[in-house]
Each structure stands twice: as structure tokens, then as C-alpha cells.
């Protein structure tokens, strides 16, 4: 056994749109280790919800010999902070990184950050298990590591074909009650504003390969679970923790129509009064399916629509069309489920006419909600990132800097670069990165007109 005390860490100061859900990926890793590694003590700390001091406390008290850190691209530096603190507090401790950013930027992380000892690329359960039990490093598929200061990339690990074989997430590693509620209104007697929203997955991967997304590169296909087993998991969470509110974190929740219907039938048969949120594609729903989902407790579905322009849908490889979009929103509302249209503005080669078409589509469909961040964020592992690199807008060294992502403001395919907006982005980043006292002094120093202008054009998180 190579490691006997494993601490899994969700880094502090990370959130998803201001929301801090429980780290489901780490709970799956923890469950796999606990089931298969006899004699290994596995614990977890969620710095995102409990803060930096809790991470430090866990390191000091538990004294792990391996610290496993999950890192999305925007939170990569917070993950590196955990690794540095671990090394400082516990001489000889090893660190292993996983999740999206390390999977895609493994070489950079191992070359530039000595606090990173191992990187698990892609699906992590078996790779982490083999690392912990002491399999020779060169034999562990999906692992990247160092040998005599040289970065070694082992062959990729094939994706697990039977998701049903995975143990359920190890919720005993955290206190589920510390996580926030999300939403408003009453669904099936469930007060969305008061009940903790428990995350689930029905599947891994996506059935598309959109240019702005890296999911297809991470998961390399689409796999799903048996609907009855997912219903069993829901019922278990209800019995153990009183869970009533759930969110499926899938990219394409309804990719397996038969299993979603089986899940809904099980929920209805067991008379489980729950509220469920999910995200899927417009080409993967129909009215019979949606009516069944409504009966089971689904109250809202988000759809990645992105654009109302047929030309833009082709350019971003969405594999949908306007007719599919209109039909999906219409039948979702007809089934009594709220429809959330996720839109993108500022995509490469998007014209004013394209934007007008998107606005007209929204006006025509009248979705219950429209979600957009107001700009296009560029991440590694996407076709859009490769386009930006080819246009000399960015290179891999960008991810060594402090910014969470690159904001596209022109420069691809003849798009004019919006230098004014780039400057505003830079100011916004600097202001939000300031210590609070410095920020307060800075804002107080400006004249009223400048302050009003900045608040109109920038998004402050202070």
C-alpha cells in the first residue's frame, strides 16, 4: 500500500456562479477508495463551503500522506494553494490533482508547479485507486508524474463502460446539511428556498462536441446509469438525510430516454415527493417523456440553445436547428415544466443580424428563464481555444497567470477586436482581485461620474 491516509480536498474560494454545491466528483472518488482500499483512511474537506481555515485544520489534525485536489480551470490557483500549504505543513506528503484543468493541462502543471506530484487524467476512480494501493507508477493508465525531474505521461485509461458498477457517492465524508438551498417556490410540497439541493448524475459525457465546450474531450463519449439504480440513490438520500431537492449535473440528462422513463416510473411508484432540476439538449426530449418527468417531480429544465441563428448553430457545431429549439421549449412548457434557455452572445463570427435573430427567437419562445453570462469564456481543451491560439490571441502560458478564463472580444475569422471592452474586462478583473480595503479606498477616491460609469459597465463581486 503506497498511501494509507488520503485527504480529498475541494479548494476554498471556488464557486459556480456564486453557488457552492457539494463536490460530487470527490464523493465518487472517496466512495471507490473506501470500498476497494481496505486499511486506507479516507477523509474529505470542502474548502469551498467551509473556508481556508478548515482545510488547514484538516491537514494539521489528519496528517495525510496523500492529498487529492480537484481543480476546475477558474479554480486552479486555489487548488495549487492547497498543495503548497500541504507541503509546508506536512513534510513528505504527496499531492495528486484531477478534474478538468489537470486533465487538459497536465504537462504544464507538472512542469511549472513543484507542489504537484501526480495528475490523474480523465475518469479518476480506478487511476487513483491504483496509485493509492501501490501499483508501479509506469503501469497506471491515465497517470502523469515525474521521474528524475522529467514529466512522464502514461497511456490513457479507457473509460469505464458500466457506470452501474460504481459505488454511490460517499456522503458520509461530508455534512450534507451545510450546503445551500437554491431556487424559489414550492414544488411537490418542497420549499426550494429552504431545502438543500443534492447533486446527482445520470450519465457521464455529452452527445455533442460544441466548439466552446471541453466535455467531449474529457469524457470521450456518452454513458448512462440504470434508471432504477438512480431511483434507489434518490430514495437512499431521502432516508439518510431527509433530501427532497435534487439537481442532475449531466450535460445531457435525457440521452437515454428509456432509462429516464424507468427512473420516473420508479419515483412515481414509490410515491417519493421530490423536486428535480436538470439540463439536457433540445433534440433529446419529447412530450411523452416530459409529461412523465413532470409527474416524477421535475420542475425545470435548462437547454443549451446558444443562438437563434441557423448559421451560428452550424459554426459552433451545435447539431441542432431552430425548429428543434422552438419545439423543445414549447412542449416543455406544455408539460408544465419550466424552460430555461441558455444563450451565448459574442461568439466568433457572430454578426449583428445573428444577435437580432437570437433576440427574436427568445421573444417568440417566451422561455421561463434566460441564462447568459454576457460574454464568451474561452477554456483549454475546446475548439474555440484552438481557434484563439491560431489567431495569436492566447497561448498556453495564459493559464500560468491569475485570470480564471480568457474572454473573447474579437480577433477570430475577421472579427474586429473590441479594445474598449478588453480594457473594461481588465479593470473589472483588477478591481475584483483587490483586497476589500483597497477596493473600498479605490472606489471612494473616484469621482461620482466615473464610479457610476464603472458600475454600469462592469460586474462587481465585492
Q: 364 and 422 share a domain?
A: no
- What's the pLDDT band for 462 if we cut at 50, 70, 90? very low
Out of 356, 374, 392, a domain closes at 374
Q: Tell me: the pLDDT tens digits for 352-378?
A: 999 999 999 999 999 999 998 788 999
Q: Tell me: the pLDDT tens digits for 187-210?
A: 999 999 999 999 999 999 998 889
Percent of the chain with pLDDT over 70: 93
The predicted model gives 250-277 an average pLDDT of 97
| pLDDT surpassing 60 at residue 27 | yes
| pLDDT surpassing 70 at residue 454 | no
Least confident of 3-17, 20-34, 82-96, 116-130: 3-17
Q: What pLDDT is stored for residue 19 in this prediction?
A: 75
| pLDDT surpassing 50 at residue 343 | yes
| pLDDT surpassing 50 at residue 461 | no
Residue 120 lies in a domain: yes
Q: What pLDDT is stored for residue 236 in this prediction?
A: 98
CA distance 79 to 69: 6
Q: What pLDDT is stored for residue 374 in this prediction?
A: 80
Out of 374, 395, 428, a domain closes at 374
Type and span of the H or E element at 442: helix 436-445
| pLDDT surpassing 70 at residue 440 | no
DSSP state of 134: T
Residue 158 lies in a domain: no
- The residue segments making up the domain with residue 262 are 181-374
| Average pLDDT score over the chain | 93
**Domain CATH code at residue 139:** 3.40.50.280
Are 72 and 100 in contact by the 8 Å Cβ rule? The answer is yes
Q: 80 and 227 share a domain?
A: no
Residue 125 lies in a domain: yes
| pLDDT surpassing 80 at residue 329 | yes
Out of 374, 392, 410, a domain closes at 374
Q: 149 and 185 share a domain?
A: no
277 vs 17: which has the higher pLDDT: 277
Residue 123 lies in a domain: yes
CA distance 233 to 265: 14
Q: 343 and 453 share a domain?
A: no
Least confident of 213-227, 253-267, 316-330, 389-403: 213-227
SS3 275: strand
Q: 147 and 185 share a domain?
A: no
CA distance 79 to 82: 5
Are 42 and 34 in contact by the 8 Å Cβ rule? The answer is yes
| pLDDT surpassing 80 at residue 445 | no
Q: Is 416 exposed, middle or buried (0-12, 13-18, 19+ CB in 10 A)?
A: exposed
Q: 453 and 358 share a domain?
A: no
Q: What pLDDT is stored for residue 427 in this prediction?
A: 86
Residue 68 lies in a domain: yes
Q: 211 and 81 share a domain?
A: no
**Domain CATH code at residue 346:** 3.20.20.70
Q: What pLDDT is stored for residue 157 in this prediction?
A: 96
- To the nearest 10°, the Cα dihedral for 70, 74, 80, 81? -110
End-to-end CA distance of the chain: 46
Q: 332 and 430 share a domain?
A: no
> From edge to edge, which strands make up the β-sheet containing 143-147?
41-46, 5-10, 66-70, 94-98, 118-120, 143-147, 150-153
Are 263 and 310 in contact by the 8 Å Cβ rule? The answer is no
Q: What pLDDT is stored for residue 265 in this prediction?
A: 98
For residue 67, which of 24, 147, 5, 135 has the smallest C-alpha distance?
Answer: 5
Residue 144 lies in a domain: yes
The predicted model gives 415-420 an average pLDDT of 94
- What's the pLDDT band for 452 if we cut at 50, 70, 90? low
Q: 138 and 259 share a domain?
A: no
CA distance 54 to 60: 10
Residue 383 lies in a domain: no
The predicted model gives 115-126 an average pLDDT of 97
Residue 124 lies in a domain: yes
Q: 115 and 252 share a domain?
A: no
**Strands, E assignment, 367-435:** 369-371, 376-378, 406-408
Number of domains in the chain: 3
Q: 355 and 260 share a domain?
A: yes
Q: 438 and 300 share a domain?
A: no
Amino acid at each position: 500500500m503506497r498511501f494509507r491516509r488520503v485527504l480529498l480536498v475541494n479548494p476554498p474560494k471556488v464557486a459556480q456562479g456564486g453557488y457552492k454545491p457539494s463536490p460530487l466528483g470527490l464523493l465518487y472518488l472517496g466512495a471507490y477508495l473506501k470500498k476497494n482500499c481496505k486499511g486506507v483512511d479516507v477523509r474529505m474537506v470542502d474548502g469551498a463551503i467551509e473556508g481556508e481555515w478548515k482545510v488547514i485544520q484538516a491537514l494539521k489534525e489528519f496528517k495525510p500522506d496523500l492529498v487529492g485536489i480537484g481543480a476546475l480551470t477558474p479554480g486552479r490557483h486555489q487548488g495549487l494553494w492547497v498543495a503548497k500549504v500541504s507541503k509546508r505543513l506536512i513534510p513528505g506528503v504527496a499531492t495528486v490533482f484531477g478534474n478538468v484543468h489537470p486533465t487538459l493541462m497536465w504537462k504544464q502543471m507538472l512542469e511549472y508547479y513543484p507542489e504537484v506530484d501526480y495528475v490523474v487524467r480523465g475518469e479518476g476512480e480506478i487511476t487513483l485507486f491504483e496509485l493509492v494501493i501501490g501499483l508501479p507508477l509506469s503501469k497506471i493508465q491515465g497517470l502523469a508524474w515525474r521521474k528524475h525531474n522529467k514529466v512522464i505521461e502514461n497511456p490513457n485509461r479507457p473509460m469505464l463502460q458500466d457506470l452501474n458498477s460504481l459505488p454511490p457517492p460517499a456522503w458520509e465524508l461530508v455534512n450534507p446539511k451545510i450546503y445551500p438551498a437554491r431556487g424559489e417556490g414550492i414544488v411537490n410540497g418542497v420549499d426550494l428556498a429552504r431545502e438543500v439541493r443534492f447533486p446527482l448524475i445520470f450519465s457521464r459525457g455529452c452527445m455533442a462536441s460544441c466548439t466552446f465546450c471541453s466535455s467531449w474531450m474529457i469524457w470521450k463519449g456518452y454513458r448512462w446509469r440504470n434508471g432504477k439504480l438512480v431511483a434507489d440513490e434518490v430514495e437512499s438520500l431521502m432516508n439518510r438525510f431527509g433530501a427532497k431537492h435534487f439537481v442532475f449535473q449531466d450535460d445531457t440528462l435525457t440521452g437515454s430516454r428509456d432509462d429516464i422513463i424507468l427512473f420516473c416510473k420508479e419515483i412515481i411508484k414509490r410515491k417519493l415527493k421530490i423536486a428535480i432540476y436538470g439540463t439536457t439538449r433540445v433534440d433529446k426530449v419529447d412530450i411523452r417523456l416530459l409529461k412523465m418527468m413532470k409527474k416524477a417531480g421535475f420542475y425545470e429544465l435548462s437547454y443549451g440553445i446558444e443562438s437563434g441563428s441557423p448559421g451560428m448553430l452550424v459554426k459552433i457545431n451545435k447539431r441542432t436547428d431552430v425548429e428543434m429549439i422552438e419545439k423543445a421549449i414549447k412542449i416543455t412548457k406544455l408539460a408544465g415544466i419550466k424552460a430555461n434557455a441558455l444563450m451565448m452572445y459574442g461568439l466568433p463570427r457572430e454578426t449583428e443580424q445573428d444577435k437580432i435573430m437570437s433576440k427574436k427567437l427568445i421573444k417568440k419562445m417566451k422561455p421561463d428563464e434566460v441564462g447568459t453570462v454576457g460574454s464568451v469564456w474561452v477554456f483549454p481543451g475546446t475548439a474555440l481555444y484552438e481557434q484563439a491560439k491560431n489567431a495569436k490571441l492566447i497561448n498556453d502560458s495564459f493559464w500560468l497567470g491569475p485570470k480564471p478564463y480568457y474572454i473573447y472580444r474579437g480577433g477570430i475569422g475577421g472579427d474586429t477586436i473590441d479594445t474598449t471592452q478588453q480594457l473594461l474586462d481588465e479593470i473589472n478583473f483588477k478591481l475584483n482581485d483587490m483586497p476589500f480595503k483597497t477596493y473600498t479606498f479605490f472606489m471612494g477616491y473616484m469621482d461620482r461620474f466615473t464610479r457610476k460609469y464603472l458600475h454600469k459597465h462592469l460586474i462587481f463581486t465585492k
